[in-house]
Each structure stands twice: as C-alpha cells, then as structure tokens.
Amino acid sequence: MTDQFFRTNPTPENYQSFSETEIQEILSPYYLTGLPNILIGVTAIILNIFVIKYYWRQGKLTLVPLLYTLIASLDILLSVGITYQSIAMGLFTEGEITLNTLDRNALLFYPIIQISNRMSIFCNLLLAVYRTVMILRPFHQMNTTTAKVACLLYLVPWIVLLGIAINQFHVLKIPRPLVENQYIFDCYLASGLAYMIEGYSLDTNLDIWFAVAITPDLISFVVPVLVVAVSCTVQVISINRSSQFPTSSNQRHVTITVILMSCLFVVCNSAFSIYILYLSYVYWSHQNERLTELSQHFSIITAILGAVLPVLNAALNPVIIISRSKQLRGSFIVTLRRMSSRTHSAPEEEVINPGNSCTANTGGPGGRSLSIIWSGPSHKVDRAKQGTFSLIL
C-alpha cells in the first residue's frame, strides 16, 4: 500500500482500485468514530445555533461578535458535514449502501467539510491576530468590512481546488473515484491539482506532485496553528503587564475569552498539522519503512485527527463563548428553563363531579359572591384551556 499511497513506484498497476470489501475494511475506523462524531456534532449544532441567534438579535455587530458569529456558522456546517459523513461511512462499512452510493453522498459531505473547516480555521486566525494587534496597538482598528473581504478572498482558492478535485475524482475518476482517492490514498484537497499538473504515469515527477499536493494544506492548517500559537503567547504575556494592556476591564475579559478559544484551537488542530509536517519530512527524507508504517494506520489517523478533533472544537467553542458572556449565559439559562417547563407542563384534566361547586367574586359592593352548583354527568376540564371570567350583577 505504501507504493500505491506515496507514489514511490508509480506504475499503472498501482492505480488499480481496491475491491469494495477491501475499502469497507480500510474505512472501518470511520465507523468506529461515527457515533461520537454524531453525538458531538448534534451538540455543536444546537449550541452554535443559540450563539448565532443571540448575536443576530443584537443588530449591527462589531468585529469580535461578528467573528464569533462567523465561527459559529462555519462550525455548524462542519458539524453537519461530519455527522453526514459518519452516517454515510457507517452505512457503507456495514454493507447497507454501495461504494457508488457513498461516492454520490461524498459530493455533499466532502465539500462541506473541506470548505467549512478551512474557513473556520481562518476566522479563528483573524480573531487571534485582531486581539493581539489591539493589545500591542490599542488605537488601531480593523473594521468588519475588512474582515468580510478577507474571508471572501480566502474562500476563492479553496473553491477552485475543490472544483478541480471533484472534476478529477468524481467526473473523470482519474486515477480513482472520490472516496477511494481522498480517504484512502490522498488526504490532500490539492491532490486533484497535482494530478492535473503532473499526471499519473511513469513520467510523473513525484517531488513536484507532492509539493503541489501538500503546500495548500500547509497553508491552511500548519501556518494558522503557528500564528495563533504565537498570538496566544503574546496575549498571555501582555495581559500580565498592565502598562501594555488597555485599562478597560471589558477588553481584558474579551481577550481572555479569545485566549481560551485560541488554546482550544491549537490543541484540536495542532495534531493534524503535526501529522502533515511529519508526513512531509518522512517523504522528503525517503524513509520507506516508516512510510509503510504510516500507510498502515492512515485511515485511523485521518478519522481521528481529521474528524473527531475538528467537531470537538466546534462543540467547545460555543461553550467558551456562552460561559464567558454574562448576558449570553443568562439567556441560555432562561432558554433551558423554558424548555424544561414546557416538557413538564403537559395539560392536565380535572374531573368535576356532580355536586361540586365553585365561587366567583363579583367585585361589587359588599363583596357579593355567586355560587354555581354543577349537576348532571361529570365534565372534564382542560387546565391548559381554563381562563377567567366576570359577572356583573
């Protein structure tokens, strides 16, 4: 599998597809991690929706709340994609759907995961850099329009690379279909571009192929983690130096929130970044035996580092935001109480038997009252529909 995966001996035979049974066995780690991904993903969706609704009601947002909202929106998409992927992979490995059906479903969950994950990482990067700049240069302001434009510009190349990958692996199926190529052989979004440039024959320059395939992932995963880690370090150091820190307690509170989100981001994304760096090092140093070992554990590594940790990050981000905001936390508690009260306040029925009486105060002089004696068959009264009435005497 090493020759097939790393192209160390790219012959036409090495581009032959696995059988469907073999692919089910290789992708079995996605089945094992499926249930945790689904549970975490649903939790992430619910919490992030609450964050978005809260900030949406605030009207025009400043930069930090806007980035909170963007991150929450992208994390919802990421959670939906990973949940969808987990369900589809589980059905496939259990033999409930075919490989062709999985490939068609991958046209939905693969783009969602690839784009939302990279854009969420970029928004976390913007948030960390912005807070660092505010600490070092308190009077420097970055408006929301700049952040929106930066996000749109950053989105364009990933859409282009995604389009090339889908055309290469789903439409042309060269050298193999989408799921088999991107989940078994290549973990790089830009591998479609690498095949388009260098081809897949004996004349393929493996060094150029690998450089083209891995460089975009270094940019999207490794560089943001390094920058956020540096920014987080600067914030932690500066927050302890009052002379370099704004006097506003609110600014300090926001910065601590950003530091917590940055630390979570680094923890959840550094593992995959280290994996990419290590994979690059092993390839360029031609450690063939180590390549064999890595290829044997490739699926479980990508299943955990590429799915479980990102969706965990998506679920814990809103927990930090909610717990750090007094107003948001209060709104969240009120919402939970309302949901709890609706659950426990099912309509009750009261049976009024013959001879029961009820009293109504007329509110007139002397506090006269009217007693009503029920007679006849029993009557059922729905408490939820009871109201008040008055009599004028």
- Mean pLDDT, the chain cut into blocks of 10 residues (393 residues total): 39 60 91 95 96 90 93 97 96 95 96 96 95 84 90 97 95 90 86 87 78 91 94 88 60 89 93 81 78 74 90 96 92 88 59 46 44 44 41 33
Tokens of 25: 């066995």
pLDDT at 16: 52
Same-domain check for residues 145 and 272: yes
pLDDT at 17: 66
CA distances from 277 to 23, 123, 153, 283, 351 (A): 26, 22, 26, 10, 73
Burial of 23 (0-12, 13-18, 19+ CB in 10 A): buried
Does residue 88 form part of some domain? yes
Same-domain check for residues 326 and 363: no
∠19-24-29 over CA atoms, to 5°? Answer: 145
Same-domain check for residues 259 and 380: no
Give the span between the Cα atoms of 359 and 133, in whole angstroms. 71
Same-domain check for residues 263 and 358: no
Does residue 392 form part of some domain? no
Same-domain check for residues 253 and 380: no
DSSP notation for 326-368: HHHHHHHHHHHHHHHHHHH----EEEE-TT-EEEEE--SGGG-
Does residue 250 form part of some domain? yes
| Secondary structure letter of residue 220 according to DSSP | I
| Category of 95 on φ-ψ map: left (φ > 0), alpha (ψ -120 to 50) or beta | left
Same-domain check for residues 364 and 318: no
Sign of the CA dihedral with 127 first, then 133, 136, and 141 last: negative
Does residue 391 form part of some domain? no
pLDDT at 248: 63
Domain CATH number, residue 320: 1.20.1070.10
- The helix or strand, by DSSP H or E, that contains position 319, with its residue range, turns out to be helix 309-324
Same-domain check for residues 306 and 240: yes
The values of phi and psi at residue 353, to 5°, are -85, 160
Same-domain check for residues 74 and 181: yes
Give the span between the Cα atoms of 311 and 37, in whole angstroms. 7
Does residue 390 form part of some domain? no
| pLDDT tens digits, 355-378 | 444 444 444 444 444 444 444 444
Same-domain check for residues 356 and 209: no
Does residue 260 form part of some domain? yes
pLDDT at 1: 36
Burial of 375 (0-12, 13-18, 19+ CB in 10 A): exposed
Q: Count the domains in the chain.
A: 2
CB 2 within 8 Å of CB 291: yes
pLDDT at 47: 96
Same-domain check for residues 365 and 329: no
Tokens of 71: 């991150």
What range defines the domain where residue 355 resides?
349-385
Does residue 254 form part of some domain? yes
CB 211 within 8 Å of CB 229: no
Same-domain check for residues 369 and 333: no
- The helix or strand, by DSSP H or E, that contains position 382, with its residue range, turns out to be strand 379-382
Same-domain check for residues 30 and 62: yes
